[in-house]
Structure 1
Amino acid sequence: MAGKTISKLTRLRRAAGYTQASFVAALIEEAARLGVAASLSERQLRRWERETPPPLPHPGQQAVLEAMFGVPLAEMGFDVPKHRVTVAMPISDAGEVKRRTFVADAGALAAATLVPVRPGPRIGMSDITRLRSRLDGLYQTDHTAGSVPAMAQAGRIDGEITDALGAASCTSRIGRELQTMLAELHGHRAWYGYDGGRIDQGRAACMEALAAAQLVDNPVLQISVLETLVLLAIKAERAWEAASAVENAYRLATRAGAGHTVHLVIALRDANVATHAGDLSGARRALSRAVRHQGRADTDAEVPKWARFVGPFEVDYATADMYVRAEQPKQAVPFLRAAVRGIGGDLARNSASYRVKLADVLLAAGEVDEACVEMGAALDASGGIASPRLLGKIRGFQRAVARVDSIAARECGERIRETVRGGTT
């Protein structure tokens, strides 16, 4: 009814985005991750939120509640005995949720338990949920609008995460989540370095991402960084580094028991390395592995967000790249056509990039009119996408088509000049 007091626990739950049912499920899942014997029913949750004072959770439930919200149990509205009062610890402290039992001068100590050891705001699960949503949103921004706006968003998120790690207090579980997100963010920046042609910056971001992923002991996250490092190393003409990154990615995938989709990404990067080196038999072997993993990818129980871009179209694109390297553009054309047809509409930047590649290969194969038609479609698809790498590909085609003496080639060149001048790409 109107004017009814909302309990502290209810406010925390709602701020974290949970309904009562979803919170019960999340608590049980978190307990399993923490290895804590704790469960909860909706009926018990309703009692916690309705009664004053609410029934005291047992120690296992307390551990999970504090891990989820990032605040001591006493701040959730419970009357907590002195021997179960939790000390808020700085993020940088290692280990699981910290708890002290007061055996001397308990009254004085209890008065100090709610004061963070390091001044600054507390970070709880609602903050993690918000930051995670923004971090995951970088994928969509990059795919649909390009790396330039995505990089600007990443800078703002980076500031929030590093401020929290440097000045806030929370449970070590929350601290680990923040460090994991920082590793992911460095991985995003590595890709933006590749897409923007800032190869040295991209490699530096890779090194930071790898170090951060190692500190949280996340092998799958390390693989995501290594697959970007392969592309950067190839651009930097460091073939040995690219090959080493592939080898380490395979090793980590085996250690982590990664699924077929992750192995598919690694196989494609393996093909990239072999193709760049002119090892066409090695490229064929890697592509054969990719085809096998692609055929079983639908059996994966879970796919990391960074690997969800991959699909049959990537295999077709890599196969076409192999034929281009072998100077057989006509053989590459059907694979590129299949890649263009197969790529999803939500991958707008890559879709436009694929079309530019197809236009390039058609031009190399002597199909000038078709190449110009395909470039026109690429320009239509690239409107509003701020991607230096895509723009570089378009300008590369512009230089190539300028050497062709035909009406279609001249008209295509003029449209590219107008588009680039207008700043639509």
Structure 2
Amino acid sequence: MSRPGNSKFADARRRLGWHSQSDVANAYEAHSALLGEPATITVRQVRRWESADPGWPKQRMTRRVLESMFGVPLAELGFIPPASGKNSVDQEEESMRRRSFLGGFVVGAAPLLGPTGQGRLAAALANARRYSDHALVGHLRSALDEAARSDGRTGPRQALPTALELLTVIDELARDTRSSVRRELLMVGARAAEFTAFLHRDAGAPPQVTLYFHDRAIEWASITGDGPMHAYVLLRKAQAADRGDAARMLDLAHAAAQGPWRLPPRARAEALQQEARALALTGAPPQSVARTLGQAHDALAAAAPAEPATCTGPLCAGYSENRLMAQSAICHREAGQPQQAVTLLRQHLAEGAFATRDRAFFTAHLAGALAAAGQPDDAAATGLSALQLAAAPGFGQALGELRRTAGDLRPYARRPAVRELRRALTSLPV
């Protein structure tokens, strides 16, 4: 009688719509390319993972791709972790492997950290006990901030490998540090996990992958007692929620704004704005939406002066009046008031200093509002402007809104401007 296979792996891939082992091999190739290290596997390898003895993937990149694909730890896919009991030779080999891996991160992060940071990291990694150095946490924080700046310039797919490396390094280091520095590491880790979730979402990864990294961020925020970060991740989960699941979006945004956590005023303003959008999507009365938006403006008015936004600095430090008004316009669009959305977006896109990703995103929403307002030619021309900003770096949220607009413009498909937008979207690489 044959032994049962690894049903956990087989069940997980079927839940994701990969009905054959060949589907898994194709998905693996796509996700490895997404992470910046293109690789392929054979159907034979997938068959081995679904056997009664799947073992543990030896290659770190393989483990990373599988976790990105499925959005769960490998143990939940039926893989068998290496035995915890090791002899002294095994321990020394593991130590060498670990230092080699972390040393590889130092080389990979060198452009991010600069020569001073690289030397400091290399010195710290030379002795495992010095992983507890507070300066190392500072260098990791700097690397995360630079990865976020890189994302703004070149897009999520370019930044993903660095973000995942940072998460792995933080996880490795936290196992050997004393408690005070471990808390610092995990606080940076929560920021890195939330950023990685954002990158996956913007790069078009399946929702469960984004959810995995959001949950990792909440776990670390809870462990460290970082209540504002916990609430902030709930806000980001609300923003990532599908428009078709507006009730969940509303629950998450309300919890972020009104829960037992105390968000900074600017972050609370954004959470209230997201709650207003969810109210609009659930069909709440216009006065409820307007009242919640008014609360967002009150929170913003009570905030300290804005600061340059960074990934590791104060939450939503750069959240501005122009951004709140642009997001309020989206609320009006969702509430069936497209002309009001058009007026607000045009005004605040002209007045505000938005990062390229944000300008692309709000311009895409302007195109959608114009389409809903019955102005198909203006909508298509505006959509093409947004596409020029979003296509090269691959800003997925803006591209998603443009595809939504193209669908809304289907009744006008024969108009030259609309045809041009649809053709341009169709020609984008998958």
TM norm. shorter chain > 0.5? yes
> Counterpart in 1 of 2:180?
173
Structure 1 residues not aligned, in runs of 5+: 1-118
Q: CA deviation at 1:349?
A: 1.2
- Give the TM-score normalised by structure 1: 0.63
Q: CA deviation at 1:242?
A: 4.0
- Give the TM-score normalised by structure 2: 0.62
CA distance in 2: counterparts of 1:136 and 1:212, whole angstroms: 19
Q: CA deviation at 1:248?
A: 4.8
The one-letter amino acid of 2:327's match is: A
Task: Give secondary structure in 2 for the equivalent of 1:310.
Answer: coil
Q: Please tell me whether residue 377 in structure 1 is matched to residue 382 in structure 2.
A: no
CA distance in 2: counterparts of 1:145 and 1:236, whole angstroms: 30
Q: CA deviation at 1:173?
A: 2.2
Q: CA deviation at 1:235?
A: 4.7
In structure 2, which of residues 405, 411, 427 is the aligned counterpart of residue 397 of structure 1? 405
Closer/same/farther in 2, CA of residues 380 and 234 from structure 1, 3 Å limit: closer
In structure 2, which of residues 385, 396, 406 is the aligned counterpart of residue 388 of structure 1? 396
Q: CA deviation at 1:142?
A: 3.3
**Pairing of 1:246-265 with structure 2 (within 5 A):** 246-254=254-262, 258-265=263-270
> Counterpart in 2 of 1:225?
233
Closer/same/farther in 2, CA of residues 282 and 218 from structure 1, 3 Å limit: same
> Counterpart in 1 of 2:20?
none
**Pairing of 1:246-285 with structure 2 (within 5 A):** 246-254=254-262, 258-279=263-284, 280-285=286-291
> Counterpart in 1 of 2:299?
293
Computing the radius of gyration over CA atoms, which structure comes out larger, 1 or 2? Answer: 1
> Counterpart in 2 of 1:340?
349
CA distance in 1: counterparts of 2:308 and 2:424, whole angstroms: 44
Instruction: Give yes or no for contact 1:260–1:297 (8 Å, CA) kept in 2.
Output: yes
Deviates more, 1:156-165 or 1:308-317: 308-317
In structure 2, which of residues 113, 129, 137 is the aligned counterpart of residue 128 of structure 1? 137
Instruction: Give yes or no for contact 2:307–2:318 (8 Å, CA) kept in 1.
Output: no
> Counterpart in 2 of 1:360?
368
Which deviations, in whole Å up to 9, do the C-alpha atoms of 1:145-180 show, x marking residues without a partner?
3322232221111121112123x3x44322111111
- The alignment of Structure 1 onto Structure 2 pairs a total of residues equal to 298
CA distance in 2: counterparts of 1:135 and 1:317, whole angstroms: 27
Q: CA deviation at 1:282?
A: 2.3
> Counterpart in 1 of 2:104?
none
CA distance in 2: counterparts of 1:283 and 1:194, whole angstroms: 27
In structure 1, which of residues 319, 326, 339 is the aligned counterpart of residue 328 of structure 2? 319
Closer/same/farther in 2, CA of residues 227 and 401 from structure 1, 3 Å limit: same
The one-letter amino acid of 1:132's match is: R
Structure 2 residues not aligned, in runs of 5+: 1-126
CA distance in 2: counterparts of 1:366 and 1:236, whole angstroms: 23
CA distance in 2: counterparts of 1:325 and 1:306, whole angstroms: 26
> Counterpart in 2 of 1:148?
157
Instruction: Give yes or no for contact 1:372–1:408 (8 Å, CA) kept in 2.
Output: yes
Which deviations, in whole Å up to 9, do the C-alpha atoms of 1:99-127 show, x marking residues without a partner?
xxxxxxxxxxxxxxxxxxxx834221231
Instruction: Give yes or no for contact 1:209–1:225 (8 Å, CA) kept in 2.
Output: yes
CA distance in 1: counterparts of 2:389 and 2:198, whole angstroms: 21
Q: CA deviation at 1:238?
A: 6.3
Q: CA deviation at 1:216?
A: 0.7
Closer/same/farther in 2, CA of residues 248 and 396 from structure 1, 3 Å limit: closer
> Counterpart in 1 of 2:190?
183
The one-letter amino acid of 2:170's match is: I
Q: Which runs of 4+ in 1 moved over 6 A?
A: 300-303
Task: Give secondary structure in 1 for the equivalent of 2:164.
Answer: helix
Instruction: Give yes or no for contact 2:280–2:289 (8 Å, CA) kept in 1.
Output: yes
In structure 1, which of residues 308, 311, 336 is the aligned counterpart of residue 317 of structure 2? 308
Instruction: Give yes or no for contact 2:231–2:255 (8 Å, CA) kept in 1.
Output: no
% identity of equivalent residues: 20
> Counterpart in 1 of 2:245?
237
Task: Give secondary structure in 1 for the equivalent of 2:128.
Answer: coil
CA RMSD of aligned residues (A): 2.8
